Chain A
C-alpha cells in the first residue's frame, strides 16, 4: 500500500521557538495533503488542506500565520509551528491523497512537546 512518512516522529522545543514538520508521500504523488492535530484522548481535528503549488486552506479557528504550510512539490508538504507555546503541544498527523484519486493515506504522526 501507499506509504506516507513524517519527520520528525517526535520533537521537544522551548516556548517561543519554531518547529517544522515534514510530510512525504514515498511511492506516489499527492496534489493534496491534509494536516490534522490530535490532543490526548480526543479525535483528529483537521487543521488545513494543502494543495501543491497554491495556498493552503485553513479550517475555522486555525491561525494561518501561526501554522505555516508549504506544499512545494507533489511529494512533500511541511507544517511550521511558529512561536510555539505549551498549548501547541499535540500529535500532528498528515495525510496524502494520490493525484490519480483514491483514499487518503496517513502518516505515523509527529508528537510535539513545547516546554
Chain B
C-alpha cells in the first residue's frame, strides 16, 4: 500500500471548515483513499473514501487531485466533537488490510 504523509497537527475554530491535507504521491491506480478518525481512547470511525472522483457524505467531503497524488478531507462546519486524530490511508479497496500512519491531530477550539 502507498505511504501517506499528513501534517502532525492542525487547529480549527469551531464553526469554520477544517481542511485536512494528505499526500500520497506513490498511490497506484487500484488504491483507494480512506479517511478514518479516532477520538481519544476510542476505536477509529470511518469517515469517507474515494478512488478518483470527489466524494461527499453527511460527515465530510473528500477532494482528490486529478493526478491522485494528494487529497483533502473537508469538515464543513467543525465542532468541538470533531477534535480527534484523522488518518488518511491508501488501500486496495475494502478487501485490504488498513495500514495506519501517524495521522493529523485536529484540535477544534472555541
> A and B: partners?
yes
Chain A interface residues toward B at CB < 8 A = 4, 6, 34, 36, 43-46, 49, 91, 93, 95, 97, 101-109, 111
A101 contacts across to B, CB distance below 8 A: 94
Closest 4 CB pairs of A and B: A106-B43, A44-B100, A43-B100, A106-B44
A95 contacts across to B, CB distance below 8 A: 43-44, 98
Distance between Cα atoms of A97 and B97 in the complex (Å)? 10
CB pair B43–A104 under 8 Å, yes or no, is no
Distance between Cα atoms of A6 and B99 in the complex (Å)? 21
Distance between Cα atoms of A36 and B101 in the complex (Å)? 13
B16 to chain A, nearest CB (A): 26
CB pair A93–B44 under 8 Å, yes or no, is yes
Chain B interface residues toward A at CB < 8 A = 34, 36, 38, 41-46, 49, 87, 94-95, 97-103
CB pair B43–A93 under 8 Å, yes or no, is yes
Distance between Cα atoms of A102 and B94 in the complex (Å)? 6
B62 to chain A, nearest CB (A): 13
A46 contacts across to B, CB distance below 8 A: 97-100
CB pair B94–A44 under 8 Å, yes or no, is no
CB pair B100–A91 under 8 Å, yes or no, is no
Distance between Cα atoms of A101 and B96 in the complex (Å)? 11
A71 to chain B, nearest CB (A): 15
A91 contacts across to B, CB distance below 8 A: 41
CB pair A109–B94 under 8 Å, yes or no, is no
